[in-house]
Amino acid sequence: MDLNVWLAFFAASWVIAISPGSGAVLSMSHGLAYGVRNASATIVGLQLGLSVVLLVAGVGVGALLLASATAFTVVKVLGAAYLIWLGFQQWRAPVQAAGGQHAQASGVPGLPSVRQRVTLGFFTNVTNPKGIVFMVAVLPQFIDPNRPLWLQLLILLATSIGVDLVVMHGYAFLASRAQRWLATARARRAQNRVFGGVLMAMGASLFMVKRAAT
C-alpha cells in the first residue's frame, strides 16, 4: 500500500471515528457511569465488531448484503432491535448517588461483567448496517486490486482500530469528567434516560436505512 493512500485512509478514519454514532454514545455512557478504565472493555468489544464489519465489507460479503433485500433486512432489523433494547436497558437502569471516584472503584454497583461489556460493544457495531454500507462505499477507494487483498485489509484494519481506540477512549474520558456534576441519583437517572433515549432513537433510525439500488 502506497504511503499517500494510507495517509488518506488514516485521515478518513479520524473523520469516521469522531462522527457521532452508537459506539460513541455507548463509550460516553459507560465512561460516565463506570469510568474510563471500566469502559475499556466496552471499547474493546466495539473494536471486535468494527473488525468484523471491515473484514466482511472488504471480502465482498458486505456488497452481497446490500444486493440481497432479505439479508439486508435481517441485519437491519436485528441491529435496530438490539440498539432499542440496549437503550431501554440504559433508560431503566437502577441509580444511586455516587462520589466523584465511584465509577473508578473495582466494585461499582450495577457494573456489568467484562464479558457483558465486551459483548455489548461487539453487537453494537456488528449489527449496525450503516457501518456495512459505509465500509462498502469507502474501502474500495483504498484497495489496489493488483496487490494482495489480505495484507491491505490488515493494514486498513489496524489503522481503523488504532484510531477508533483513541477516539472512543477520548469520548469515555470526556464523559467521565462530568461525574462530579452528575453524582446525585437524580442527575444519574437523567443521564441514563438521555443516553438510553439516544440509543433507542438510533435504533429506530436504522429502520429507515435503505440498501443500495441494484
* pLDDT tens string 80-104: 777 687 778 777 776 654 444 444 4
Distance between CA atoms of residues 35 and 51, nearest Å: 24
Residues 6+ apart with CB under 8 A from 71: 64, 65
Higher pLDDT, 132 or 28: 28
Residues 6+ apart with CB under 8 A from 43: 27, 121, 165, 168, 169, 172
Higher pLDDT, 75 or 41: 41
51 CA to centre of own chain:
11
By CB neighbour count within 10 A (0-12 exposed, 13-18 middle, 19+ buried), where does 180 fall? exposed
* Radius of gyration over every alpha carbon of the chain, rounded to an integer in angstroms: 18
Confidence of residue 18 (pLDDT cuts 50, 70, 90): confident
Residue 6 has pLDDT above 80, yes or no: yes
Lowest-confidence segment of 52-61, 149-158, 194-203 by average pLDDT = 194-203
Residue 126 has pLDDT above 90, yes or no: no
Query: Which pLDDT value is given to residue 67?
Result: 64
Higher pLDDT, 114 or 81: 114
Q: Do the beta carbons of residue 163 and residue 54 sit within 8 Å?
A: no
Cell numbers for 108: 461499582
Query: Which pLDDT value is given to residue 102?
Result: 42
Confidence of residue 106 (pLDDT cuts 50, 70, 90): very low
Confidence of residue 109 (pLDDT cuts 50, 70, 90): low
Higher pLDDT, 77 or 24: 24
Residue 68 has pLDDT above 90, yes or no: no
Residues 6+ apart with CB under 8 A from 10: 159, 163
Query: Which pLDDT value is given to residue 99?
Result: 46
pTM confidence score:
0.70
